[in-house]
Amino acid sequence: MIKDLAAASDGPVTVAGWVETVRDQKKVQFVVLRDETGAVQLVNPRNVDAEGVVIADEPATTISGLSQGSFVTATGELKHDERVKLGGIEIKLSSLTVATAAIPETPIAGDSGIDKRMDWRFLDLREPKNNLIFRIQTTFEHALREYWVSNDFIEIHTPKLMASPSESRAELFEVEYFDRTAYLSQSPQFFKQMAQSAGFGKIFEIGPAFRADPSFTSRHATEFTSVDTELSWIDSHEDVMTLHENLIVAGFTAVKEKHGEQIKELFDVEVVVPSTPFPRIPLAEAKRIVAERGYEVPRHDDDMDPEGERQISAYVKEEFGHEFVFLTDYASSIRPFYHMRHADDASLTNSYDLIFNGVEISTGAQREHRVEILEEQAREKGLEPEELDFYLDFFRYGVPPHGGFGMGLARVLMLMLHLSNLRETTYLFRGPTRLLP
């Protein structure tokens, strides 16, 4: 691999990759070759006769016909030379073989819009900056898994075809399923809770989720990767928040250690590992703080709107020097039926949203584990308990107090890298108007 050349000794070497640039000069040819780990300069001095006429030979003829993006294998002599701007090394060619030639006209360029780039995502992902995003994603997920596994969590894989909705009847994709209708899973919520009744104690899953939400914002998708965890024997949603912040710290620490320098170079972003505990602010207090800053959250619902999230994040950054904040105690009117309500105020829930750099990335809560209350709260949300019988059975045979959260992976990466659109941090984006590639 090209990244290994710097530590290799001068001498024979073979590399392969995509042609990035070609400089076809009269006396010497240069090719910049890139694989998924880096780039190297290939050099081919041209043969000329006594009269100074260039002799058409190999690999000169092949190089003259190369188009950007062609995949080639190159053999030659590796040489370390501090004068070479690209990594201080180059390869003097002896042979060059074209495995696949690319069409000369490249459909996207550096100034192409994001929709055009998404049309040609496989070419877009060849860019080192975009390639790095998914190395960061791998490191982040691996760190979360290491934390979970080292703390005795069990990984599960829940079905994505559902007989009934897992959140509400809104935002559901219906699917023909033999002689009936199925739904694409909005979240693994029911099955995460089943694991608590089954005695698993602590579980996690990283998998797809689906929302039939016709939003065209920079932070919504109809299919996304959800990071989910659930744990038993909790006293309140405070236990869930503690787990959540510890996971975030583990993930950010791993990313900073492995990719921090590259992120600074390519994104001009300093990855900050957050301190714990994260700030916690009840939603009502957060709205008051935002109002004092000059912004009134619209009163048509009980939630915090996007501008309110940005404002409270700015406040937390100024007051605490922190990029994260838990907004707690959301109204039961906007929370799912399975969120536990305050013992002394049924209008509030033992729940939270985690806000990161001005955007909500996660919702967590203590779950209601008393079946008679679950049935009542389901009816309030317009759900028929009979349709939820399989789910309610989990609570009819004994289940410990439990809670958990679901977090959007692409949003976390988008905000970590200070990007403006989660399409950048989604391998293949799905939205209301996009099903390809």
- Residue 367 annotated in ligand binding: yes
Angstrom distance (rounded) from CA 13 to CA 40? 12
211 is annotated as contributing to ligand binding: yes
Annotated ligand binding at 117? The verdict is no
Nearest 5°: the CA angle 115, 227, 352 is 105
Q: Is 14 annotated as a binding residue?
A: no
Q: Kindly write down the DSSP assignment for every residue of 165-197, as one continuous string.
A: -SS-STTPPEEEETTEEEEE-S-SHHHHHHHHH
3-state DSSP call for residue 35? strand
CB 74 within 8 A of CB 98: no
Name, in order, each residue with C-beta under 8 angstroms of 140's C-beta and a sequence gap of 6 or more: 251, 252, 254, 255, 409, 412, 413
Is 87 annotated in some ligand binding site? no
> 363 labelled as ligand-binding?
yes
Residues 6+ apart with CB under 8 A from 397: 197
Q: Which residue shows structure tokens 């959260």?
A: 405
User: What are the φ and ψ backbone dihedral angles of 194, each rounded to 5 degrees?
Assistant: -60, -40
Q: Is 360 within any annotated ligand binding site?
A: yes
| 410 annotated ligand binder | yes
CA 10 to chain centre: 40
CA 130 vs. chain centroid, Å, equals 12
Distance CA 370, CA 362 (A): 25
Q: Which residues pair with 328 in a beta bridge?
A: 282, 352
| Cα 394 from chain centre | 32
Region of residue 338 (phi > 0: left; psi between -120 and 50: alpha; otherwise: beta): alpha
Instruction: For residues 161 and 183, give the distance between their C-alpha atoms in angstroms, rounded to a whole number.
Output: 6
Burial class (CB in 10 A: 0-12, 13-18, 19+), 338: buried
Tell me which residue of 226, 225, 221 sits closest to 432, measured CA to CA: 221
Instruction: Report residue 388: phi and psi, to 5°.
Output: -105, 15
Is residue 253 marked as binding?
Answer: no
Coil, helix or strand for 153? coil
Cα–Cα distance measured from residue 24 to residue 188, given in angstroms and rounded to the nearest whole number: 56
Q: Which residues pair with 209 in a beta bridge?
A: 224
Which residues contribute to the annotated binding site?
167, 211, 360, 363, 367, 408-411
Which residues contribute to the annotated binding site for L-aspartate?
167, 211, 363, 367
Which residues contribute to the annotated binding site for ATP?
360, 408-411
